[in-house]
Amino acid sequence: MKITLTGSIGNIGKPLTESLVKAGHQVTVITSKQAHAAQIKSMGAIPAVGSIEDVAFLTNAFTGADVVYAMVPPNFGATHWKEYIAGIGHNYAAAIKAAGVTKVVQLSSIGAHLTEGAGPITGLHQVEVELNKLEGVVVKYVRAGFFYTNFYSNVDMIKHAGLLGSNYGADTYLPLVHPVDVADAIAEEIQQPFTANSIRYAISDEHTAGESAAILGKEIGKPELPWVEFTDADTLGGMLQAGLPEEIAKNYVEMGEVSRNGKMQEDFLTHRSALGKRKLEDFAVEFAKSF
């Protein structure tokens, strides 16, 4: 098959590209950075360097593809983050239609069933809405859980404050995922037939926030590492102090609110998919190397 991937060669894109090339497919990888072109070629794929904000470029990159994998990369410089995410979804939909693509796998998120109030995930809901409008196109939405790798952003908190925390409590249920399990799920969906729009959840493990802190703490020699619930105001202040733009920080606080009240997780609990194979204990070994 001819497959075009967005998302360059990050935590998901790199193992996804490697998997599809190994399976014998012709893979084109869209990247915004010319510096990544050589590495993409070395992996056996074809680089397409350009901007996902350029519909003409996307249309050209999508043309001839049997399948397109669509994801919206983070943009911490966005003035209106939700609208930016939704706008990229609109670009993808326009290019998919113009290129005549009939099969799409889109990286979405747990919580994307929520129409509002979920931070950046609200934008991903709008991406799903845009793609659902396409006629003659079937879309598989791979909704990923809380990425294990997000814990790397808490390394300084653990080192300097001796705790983990956010604006949700230790008893908050977290469906978690390793990026490589997400890549595996996407690769599987790309290579298998599907005839109607549907959703697959990509989840590796399930723990409360407190259990997650304990598992990571045990591996780094801090078995009593606590999870502390902060107020929304303190969470916002901490992120601003750490240098996050206010627009991004406010959206993260909003995302924490729907985690706290359980709305983020509710659709997954109703429509489960099989769990991936990389457990939090496995990731904890990787995480410990940060110390």
pLDDT tens by residue, the chain, 291 residues: 999 999 999 999 999 999 999 999 999 999 999 999 999 999 999 999 999 999 999 999 999 999 999 999 999 999 999 999 999 999 999 999 999 999 999 999 999 999 999 999 999 999 999 999 999 999 999 999 999 999 999 999 999 999 999 999 999 999 999 999 999 999 999 999 989 999 999 999 999 999 999 999 999 999 999 999 999 999 999 999 999 999 999 999 999 999 999 999 999 999 988 999 999 999 999 999 887
For residue 291, the model assigns a pLDDT of: 77
Domains annotated on the chain, with CATH: 2-146+177-202 (3.40.50.720)
Residues near 180 by beta carbon (within 8 Å), at least 6 away in sequence: 11, 12, 15, 278
